[in-house]
Amino acid sequence: MNLHHLLNARRAAGKPVRVALIGAGKFGSMFLSQVPHTPGLEVPVIVDLDPERAREACRTVGWDAERIAATTFTADSAEATSGNIEVIVEATGNPAVGIKHARAAIAAKKHIVMVNVEADVLAGPLLADEARKAQVVYSLAYGDQPALTAEMVDWARATGFRVVAAGKGTKYLPAYHDVTPAGVWGHYGLSATEAQSAGMNPQMFNSFLDGTKSAIEMAAIANATGLDVPTGGLLFPPCGVDDLPHVMRPREAGGVLERSGVVEVVSSLERDGRPVFRDLRWGVYVVLEAPNDYAADCFRQYGLKTDASGRYAAMYKPYHLIGLELNISILSAALRGEPTGQPHGFRGDVASVAKRDLRAGEMLDGEGGYMVWGKLMPAAASLKAGALPIGLAHRVKLKNDIAHGAIVRWGDVEIDANNETVKTRRAMEATFGG
């Protein structure tokens, strides 16, 4: 609650917080729209595969000609670690590229804000450990649901509550796991032409629909907070905000959870497709348990929605503003030396699961594609099964046939053991897999 004051002090001292952005897509553009309205924050370098597209993005979000002229637009990521840049924002969404950029930032003694949650889930525990040893900050991105959920978990624990469940809401039906980019727009109420004219990427949007993105985000939360991952994967129970304390409690107490202290995603749709009343599709939540009768009485006295016992209650945030809120992570890293969530262990992993019968010789097309979706698994179970992480299921050839609904394993694909991303992942498993 002191970030704005600290930023003003830096501004008054003539030492603005200087940021390099890598990836000027939707998340990056939302962040850039706030920069002119945040005195003391500067973005002198923007890295993108298409520098002119990045320049146009700045025009679109309201940057004036003077600010654009003073900014370096480049495709060379080395520019991000040069000069007096203090914080690097990695917003590419590509796990291999994200790992490379994070390590370059850490080597250059720059703080790294990881919008790229795909890279975080693939190797984040190792990257965060490397950053801590280098005495720089590795942080999840505020505005994205993992960091917002981690914040709520921290609040609950710091105030003395036991966290029963934490996570987010999404639009989910079981059939969505098999949806491909060819059929995704009907589920968003758009035509393919409308989506194309808006510049929307069907594979990226499909990763939100088919459950992959939810799995990735819950793995990130588990790794950052130490919460457990459901043994059989996410349940996606239909649940509105008023029912969170009733539904999101252990089965032994009448809820749907196998135990207390887990991550979970709630659906905004009933299983028959009807909308859930007062859904949490865009938000995050934490369910907490009163540690004693007095606290439970306070829940009632101050109007908290609880279950019938009065001991389980929920706090939630109905919306997340994505890149519009990213300044919180940047300023927390630069001014406080603190992350807005970071992995401290390897508790959750995301395995590749076949969307249809797959044949040897086919090439996997990654997250949100036509062939696999990402399923959340406990990390120990994923390692025991030899599951192929979803972050490595792109442009790799199958050696074996895989049945619809089966997990794709490392041994089922042709993997280059000398690939840097593969080596980093294997190093992370060796370091944190125990």
What's the confidence (pLDDT) of residue 417? 95
What residues does 166 pair with on adjacent strands?
A: 263, 286
- Please report, rounded to a whole number, the percentage of residues in the chain having pLDDT higher than 90: 95
Residue 126 domain-assigned (yes or no): yes
Indicate which CATH number applies to the domain containing 394: 3.90.1210.10
Instruction: Compute the distance between CA of residue 360 and CA of residue 166 in angstroms, rounded to an integer.
Output: 39
- Strand ranges in 91-218 using DSSP code E only, listed in sequence order: 111-114, 138-140, 162-170
Residue 13, Cβ density class (10 Å: 0-12 exposed, 13-18 middle, ≥19 buried): exposed
For residue range 115-133, what is the model confidence (pLDDT) as tens digits? 999 999 999 999 999 999 9
What's the confidence (pLDDT) of residue 195? 84
The answer, yes or no, to whether residue 348 has pLDDT greater than 90, is yes
pTM: 0.97
Residue 182 domain-assigned (yes or no): no
What's the confidence (pLDDT) of residue 326? 98
Mean pLDDT for 234-242 is: 98
The answer, yes or no, to whether residue 157 has pLDDT greater than 90, is yes
**Do 278 and 331 sit in the same domain of this protein?**
no
Mean pLDDT for 141-147 is: 98
* Angstrom distances, CA of residue 69 to CA of 14, 61, 74, 79: 21, 15, 13, 16
For residue range 27-83, what is the model confidence (pLDDT) as tens digits? 999 999 999 999 999 999 999 999 999 999 999 999 999 999 999 999 999 999 988
- The answer to whether the CB of 171 falls within 8 A of the CB of 209 is yes
Mean pLDDT for 323-332 is: 98
DSSP state of 335: I
**Do 154 and 85 sit in the same domain of this protein?**
no
What's the confidence (pLDDT) of residue 180? 96
**Do 354 and 312 sit in the same domain of this protein?**
no
Mean pLDDT for 8-33 is: 97
Give the H/E segment covering residue 193: helix 192-197
200 confidence band (pLDDT: 50, 70, 90): confident
Two tokens at 201? Answer: 């990427």
**Do 112 and 261 sit in the same domain of this protein?**
no
The answer, yes or no, to whether residue 199 has pLDDT greater than 80, is no
> Which has more confidence, 268 or 195?
268
**Do 23 and 82 sit in the same domain of this protein?**
yes
The answer, yes or no, to whether residue 196 has pLDDT greater than 90, is no
DSSP state of 336: I
What's the confidence (pLDDT) of residue 13? 98
**Do 14 and 134 sit in the same domain of this protein?**
yes
**Do 26 and 42 sit in the same domain of this protein?**
yes
387 confidence band (pLDDT: 50, 70, 90): very high
Number of domains in the chain: 3
**Do 157 and 256 sit in the same domain of this protein?**
yes
Residue 203 domain-assigned (yes or no): no
Instruction: Compute the distance between CA of residue 325 and CA of residue 141 in angstroms, rounded to an integer.
Output: 9
Closest-CA residue to 362 (of 411, 414, 404, 407): 414
- Give the CA diameter of the chain: 63
**Do 330 and 230 sit in the same domain of this protein?**
no
Indicate which CATH number applies to the domain containing 70: 3.40.50.720
Mean pLDDT for 229-254 is: 98
Query: Residue 282 belongs to what domain range?
Result: 146-172+211-319
Residue 234 domain-assigned (yes or no): yes
- Mean pLDDT, the chain, integer: 97
Spell out the SS3 assignment of 125-146: HHHHHHHHHCCCCEEECECEHH
**Do 123 and 162 sit in the same domain of this protein?**
no
Give the H/E segment covering residue 284: strand 284-289
What's the confidence (pLDDT) of residue 22? 98
* Angstrom distances, CA of residue 75 to CA of 23, 107, 112: 10, 20, 18
434 confidence band (pLDDT: 50, 70, 90): confident
What's the confidence (pLDDT) of residue 183? 93
**Do 312 and 330 sit in the same domain of this protein?**
no
Residue 193 domain-assigned (yes or no): no
Residue 185 domain-assigned (yes or no): no
197 confidence band (pLDDT: 50, 70, 90): confident
Instruction: Compute the distance between CA of residue 137 and CA of residue 132 in angstroms, rounded to an integer.
Output: 7
- Burial state string for 80-92 with b = 16 or more CB within 10 A and e = fewer than 16: bbeeebbbbbbbb
